């Protein structure tokens, strides 16, 4: 790989920032068409059963209403459940098939779509659709179902005999930890605009993290030719995983467009979004056995998570304790409880956010039982090998995270006794936790068009879910093509662009950067070949590996005077543009573990009389390989920390188990942190050179920022108050109980 500079590694403002703040950036529900039709969704009010009768006559009488679609009169859709399986669908089960038949599997399931000339008419008419149901029994309470679970598919390899080791351990800690259902609550409502291009052709603007995933899905569900449906989403107002799978409104928008042969927009209400996907509630039981010196003898983690009646959604909650700490004995179990709720979905660091919360809370309790500093305990159990697979890491600078994080936080000034630190009427608490996530990479393609005037267009079907993908793509391309940042234009989130997976798993930065590198190399090869044909070419004998693009020139790596302006090469060969498309297939290697890590430190202030908790300081020290853009990367970590504050203190979706319905389904009643809840957040990126993971040493930072935060805060609350609140969120009533 050619040397990189000056954009990679430089804090860089978002290249799409101006478009976003001026409103020039258009979101899925902002694309327009003449005679656009508006769809309003009617959702089920029962949690389980079937639709006995739907009466749409009153709705149809509303002025401006064009049609009401139900399972009885909708256009044709694929029968086979397999046609509804998108790239991210759980392996087992049948995905939701919106308006497919009379079955109701959860409250909030779409049962009718009202199509009208105006949104207001559609919405009013939707209130007039009368649905009679035959109701069947159901369970929506995890605790009511906990003795009726089944095994999920991802058991982590255990080792030794944890039961015996635990029984024999001199210091033991066992407890149960609970995390509730959480919703993503992105600012942008779930919405889709299906533009009718005539002749059965559709252009669909959809709020999604994967335009090609949605494109394939729509083509399959509606048996459309691949060329007849194009999916785009140039900007997203937050995803957090909620847009990895196709959301049902995109099906309804296309149904409406096919039924009326016109353009249709369907936007869900905030309330309706609560029946689309969520982080599943979990119960985790942890058992830790240790020697008096703080060496772990045994780790047991048993997780129960919830899933729907129709799909087995599972993310691995136990993988993190399986790999993180040295312990000769370990055992894991992972089970699912089937409830009459929508299928859960990925939400920022799925599995880790919940699983590491339980692990790191339990480690803090063990540290107290051992009378050892919590960082010291983690250092004594530190492992340079993935304990689950017994593999070395490509890199792991977690020790440095602990060190730098502790120093920045001032950890050495901590009095370890609970309730020992005070500030006026407030109890002060300091807690810490470890974070861990995967460093993944996926196959992806990029097309670059370089024009003779020194401009490059870089295109890939990836999305930018708000993380900064436009910006890092421009930075990487500018460096590898030797161009100013402003000379690079990035195009993405269009299903007709070169192949890319969904934007998720924190894999986009590494995947797209190496696809750009591969493609830039293709361009270099093509231009070097052309340069060699020039008279007296200084590059006549240069090998590809000896060259790079720099300052608009194709240059020799070592001898800077051997360089030819790219414009001259193109002029000589009569080219006004060169175009290359390259695919990067990351090497499959089972020889090393690939992870990002963090050490999170939190300070809380707790009002002793009222139980009000404020998170006044967080330090997050992150080791995530090469940081492409310290500015947007820092924003990712800060966003993750804010999510962690929400998880610790605010967020919980409550289900009315009599009705089987999410009760607090709006952001007045579902609390997320607001400005007043967020104070100092200090982000440290620990140097972590990694030449093994991939040529540019990129690991990705989209998810690591949230992992461990809730545990650090919960541990700080214990330190402040002496009280362990093991079920999230830590609300003041639990603290005063």
Question: Which two three-digit tokens encode residue 422?
Answer: 């005070």
| Residue from 234, 344, 351, 504 in contact with ligand MOS (CB under 6 A) | 504
* 618 sits near ligand MOS (criterion: CB under 6 A): no
Q: Which of 188, 311, 360, 703 is catalytic?
A: 703
Least distance between ligand MOS and beta carbon 262 (Å): 33
Smallest gap from Cβ 507 to ligand MOS, in A, equals: 8
**Least distance (Å) from ligand MOS to the CB of residue 286?**
24
As measured in angstroms, the least distance from the Cβ of 212 to ligand MOS is 15
Please state, in angstroms and rounded to a whole number, the distance separating the CA atoms of residues 619 and 435: 12
Q: Output 241 or 611, the one with its CB closest to ligand MOS.
A: 241
Write down the residue that tokens 């000769």 correspond to.
Answer: 328
Between CA 455 and CA 296 the distance in angstroms is 57
Alpha-carbon gap, residue 64 to 120, rounded angstroms? 10
| Minimum CB distance to ligand MOS smaller for 113 or for 465 | 465
Give the Cβ contact number of residue 585 at 10 Å.
13
Instruction: State which of positions 197-216 bind ligand MOS (CB under 6 A).
Output: 209
Residue 525 DSSP class: H
39 belongs to the binding site for ligand MOS (CB under 6 A) = no
Q: What span, in angstroms and rounded, lies between the C-alpha atoms of 12 and 6? A: 11
Residues 313-332 binding ligand MOS (CB under 6 A) are: none
- x/- map, 219-248, ligand MOS, by CB under 6 A: --------------------xxx--x----
Six-digit token string for 538: 């200084």
H or E element, residue 685: strand 680-685
110/42 Cα distance (integer angstroms): 6
Closest CB 502 distance from ligand MOS, rounded Å: 7
Q: Is 62 in the site for ligand MOS (CB under 6 A)?
A: no
Q: What is the three-class DSSP state of 415?
A: coil
State the virtual CA torsion across 180, 185, 186, 187 in degrees, nearest 10: -150
Q: Which of residues 240-299 bind ligand MOS (CB under 6 A)?
A: 240-241, 244
DSSP state of 93: B
Q: Which is nearer to ligand MOS, 611 or 640 (CB)?
A: 640
- Count, residues near ligand MOS per rule CB under 6 A: 11
Among candidate residues 16, 429, 40, the one with its CA nearest the CA of residue 253: 40
Active site residue 117: no
Q: Which stretch binds ligand MOS (CB under 6 A): 98-106, 132-140, 344-352, 669-677?
A: 344-352
Torsions phi, psi of 53, nearest 5? Answer: -160, 140
- Which range in 42-50, 190-198, 342-350, 572-580 contacts ligand MOS by CB under 6 A? 342-350
Smallest distance, ligand MOS to C-beta of residue 95, A: 18
Binding residue (CB under 6 A) for ligand MOS from 122, 273, 314, 347: 347
Give 303's strand partners.
284, 334
Smallest gap from Cβ 210 to ligand MOS, in A, equals 10
Q: Is 515 helix (H, G, I), strand (E, B) or coil?
A: helix
**Considering the rule CB under 6 A, would residue 346 count as an interface residue with ligand MOS?**
yes
640 binds ligand MOS (CB under 6 A): no
> Measured from the CB atom, is 97 or 279 closer to ligand MOS?
279
* DSSP H or E stretch at residue 43: strand 37-43
Q: Which of 458, 69, 61, 73 is nearest to 252 (CA)?
A: 69
Please report the sign of the dihedral spanned by the C-alpha atoms of residue 586, residue 590, residue 592, residue 594.
Answer: positive
CA distance 507 to 491: 18
Ramachandran angles phi, psi of 330, nearest 5°: -155, 145
User: Between 350 and 482, whose beta carbon lies closer to ligand MOS?
Assistant: 350
Shortest distance, CB of residue 307 to ligand MOS, whole angstroms? 16
348 or 661, CB closer to ligand MOS? 348
Which residues are near ligand MOS by CB under 6 A? 209, 239-241, 244, 346-348, 350, 504-505
Residues marked as catalytic: 703
């Amino acid at each position: 790989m050619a040397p990189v500079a000056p954009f990679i590694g430089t804090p860089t403002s978002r290249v799409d920032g101006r478009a976003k703040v001026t409103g020039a950036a258009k979101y899925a529900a902002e694309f327009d068409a003449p005679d656009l039709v508006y769809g309003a969704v009617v959702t089920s009010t029962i949690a389980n059963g079937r639709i006995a009768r739907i009466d749409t006559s009153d709705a149809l009488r509303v002025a401006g209403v064009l049609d009401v679609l139900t399972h009885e009169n909708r256009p044709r859709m694929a029968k086979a459940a397999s046609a509804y399986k998108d790239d991210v669908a759980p392996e087992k089960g049948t995905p939701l098939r919106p308006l497919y038949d009379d079955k109701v599997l959860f409250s909030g399931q779409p049962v009718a779509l009202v199509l009208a000339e105006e949104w207001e008419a559609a919405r009013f008419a939707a209130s007039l659709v009368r649905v009679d149901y035959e109701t069947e029994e159901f369970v929506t309470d995890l605790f009511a179902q906990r003795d009726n679970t089944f095994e999920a598919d991802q058991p982590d390899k255990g080792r030794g005999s944890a039961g015996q080791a635990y029984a024999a351990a001199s210091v033991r800690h066992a407890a149960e930890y609970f995390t509730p259902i959480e919703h993503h609550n992105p600012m942008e409502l779930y919405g889709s605009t299906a533009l009718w291009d005539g002749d059965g052709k559709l252009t669909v603007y959809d709020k999604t993290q994967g335009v090609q995933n949605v494109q394939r899905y729509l083509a399959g569900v509606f048996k459309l030719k691949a060329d007849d449906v194009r999916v785009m989403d140039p900007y997203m107002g937050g995803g957090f995983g909620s847009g990895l799978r196709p959301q049902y409104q995109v099906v309804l928008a296309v149904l409406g467009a096919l039924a009326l042969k016109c353009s249709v927009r369907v936007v869900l209400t905030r309330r309706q979004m609560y029946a689309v996907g969520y982080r599943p509630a979990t119960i985790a039981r942890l058992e830790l056995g240790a020697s008096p010196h703080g060496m772990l003898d045994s780790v047991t983690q048993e997780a129960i998570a919830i899933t729907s009646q129709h799909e087995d959604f599972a993310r691995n909650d136990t993988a993190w304790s399986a790999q993180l700490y040295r312990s000769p004995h370990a055992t894991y179990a992972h089970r699912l409880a089937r409830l009459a709720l929508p299928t859960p979905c990925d939400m920022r660091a799925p599995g880790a956010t919940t699983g590491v919360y339980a692990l790191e809370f339990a480690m803090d309790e063990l540290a107290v039982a051992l009378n050892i500093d919590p960082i010291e305990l983690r250092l004594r159990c530190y492992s340079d090998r993935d304990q689950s697979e017994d593999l070395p890491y490509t890199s792991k600078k977690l020790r440095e995270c602990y060190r730098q994080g502790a120093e920045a936080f001032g950890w050495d000034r901590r009095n370890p006794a609970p309730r020992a630190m005070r500030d006026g009427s407030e109890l002060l608490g300091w807690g810490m936790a470890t974070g861990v996530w995967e460093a993944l990479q996926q196959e992806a393609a990029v097309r670059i068009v370089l024009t003779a005037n020194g401009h490059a267009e870089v295109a890939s079907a990836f999305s930018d879910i708000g993380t900064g993908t436009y910006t890092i793509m421009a930075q990487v391309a500018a460096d590898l093509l030797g161009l100013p940042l402003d000379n690079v234009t990035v195009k993405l989130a269009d299903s007709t662009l070169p192949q890319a997976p969904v934007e998720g798993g924190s894999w986009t930065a590494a995947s797209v950067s190496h696809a750009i590198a591969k493609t830039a190399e293709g361009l270099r090869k093509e231009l070097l070949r052309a340069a060699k044909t020039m008279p007296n070419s200084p590059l006549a004998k240069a090998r590809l590996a000896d060259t790079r693009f720099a300052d608009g020139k194709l240059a020799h790596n070592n001898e800077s005077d051997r360089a030819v302006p790219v414009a001259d090469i193109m002029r000589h060969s009569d080219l006004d543009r060169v175009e290359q498309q390259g695919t990067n297939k990351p090497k499959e290697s089972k020889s090393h573990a690939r992870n990002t890590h963090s050490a999170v430190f939190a300070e809380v202030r707790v009002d002793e009389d009222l139980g009000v908790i404020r998170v006044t300081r967080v330090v997050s020290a992150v080791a995530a390989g090469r940081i492409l853009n310290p500015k947007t990367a820092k924003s990712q970590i800060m966003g993750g920390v804010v999510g962690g504050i929400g998880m610790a203190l605010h967020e919980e979706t409550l289900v009315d188990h009599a009705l089987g319905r999410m009760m607090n389904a709006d952001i007045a009643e579902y609390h997320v942190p607001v400005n007043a809840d967020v104070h100092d957040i200090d982000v440290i990126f620990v140097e972590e050179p990694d030449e093994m993971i991939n040529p540019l040493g990129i690991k990705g930072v989209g998810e690591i920022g949230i992992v461990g935060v809730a545990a650090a805060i919960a541990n700080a609350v214990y330190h402040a108050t002496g009280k362990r609140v093991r079920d999230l969120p830590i609300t003041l009533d639990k603290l005063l109980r």
